[in-house]
């Protein structure tokens, strides 16, 4: 499916929507849509037979701090019927990072949205289970934000002596081999 035809179909599906084509290093069609128009565009991409993007391959985010808008939520969709891939980006400001959930369109978005929430702090309005997925519930902050404080500040040391003797090293290697079995599995 050629990019111009795709954008034209989206303009018909969501009249008045601002759809901005973006450059892409991998030649995958990439478009920007606004946060408010994203739910209607995502639904049209899945439900319209002339588009048929029925598979959500990826959902992630990028923090481009200190720039504003700070975040981009990225959806990668696949249309098996048309043998096409599409990357959709939604810009979000750092002061108000939220977007409507896509769980009602693609159920697989559930865990992907939880992961983005957990690591970037981007909320998905209407999400059925907005709990942390990777970090403990009492974790403070969002580790993939560029302004997240680094916990350990040590200068790397490359001149330190080996902390085990040669005999201990050999014993550890043999123990590992015995644990893994004869074929190293």
pLDDT value at residue 174: 85
Contact 66, 94 (CB under 8 A): no
Report the C-alpha gap between 163 and 175 in whole angstroms. 18
Q: What is the pLDDT of residue 152?
A: 60
Q: Which domains, ranges and CATH numbers included, belong to the chain?
A: 3-154 (3.30.460.80)
Structure tokens at 156: 């790397």
Please, are residues 54 and 31 in contact by the beta-carbon 8 Å criterion? Answer: no
Please report which confidence band the pLDDT of residue 35 belongs to, taking 50, 70 and 90 as the band edges.
very high
- Residue 3 pLDDT exceeds 90: no
Write out pLDDT tens, residues 135-165.
888 888 899 999 988 766 656 556 655 577 7
Residue % of the chain over a pLDDT of 70 = 90
Of 163 and 130, which is predicted with more confidence?
130
Residues 54 and 30 sit within 8 Å (Cβ to Cβ): no
Would the pLDDT of 177 be above 90?
no
Give per-residue pLDDT as tens, 77-108: 999 999 999 999 999 999 999 999 999 999 99
Q: For the whole model, what pTM was predicted?
A: 0.79
């Amino acid at each position: 499916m050629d990019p111009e035809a795709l954008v034209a179909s989206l303009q018909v599906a969501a009249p008045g929507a601002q759809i901005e084509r973006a450059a892409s290093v991998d030649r995958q069609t990439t478009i920007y849509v606004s946060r408010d128009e994203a739910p209607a565009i995502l639904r049209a991409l899945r439900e319209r037979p002339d588009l048929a993007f029925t598979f959500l391959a990826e959902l992630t985010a990028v923090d481009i701090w200190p720039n504003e808008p700070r975040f981009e939520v990225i959806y990668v969709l696949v249309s098996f019927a048309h043998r096409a891939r599409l990357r959709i980006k939604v810009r979000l400001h750092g002061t108000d990072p939220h977007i409507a959930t896509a769980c009602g369109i693609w159920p697989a978005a559930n865990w992907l949205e939880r992961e983005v929430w957990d690591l970037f702090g981007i909320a998905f309005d209407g999400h059925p289970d907005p709990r942390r997925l990777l970090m403990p519930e009492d974790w403070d902050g969002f580790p993939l934000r560029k302004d997240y404080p680094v916990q350990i500040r040590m200068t790397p040391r490359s001149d330190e002596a080996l902390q085990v003797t040669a005999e201990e090293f050999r014993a550890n290697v043999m123990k590992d081999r015995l644990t893994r079995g004869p074929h190293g599995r």
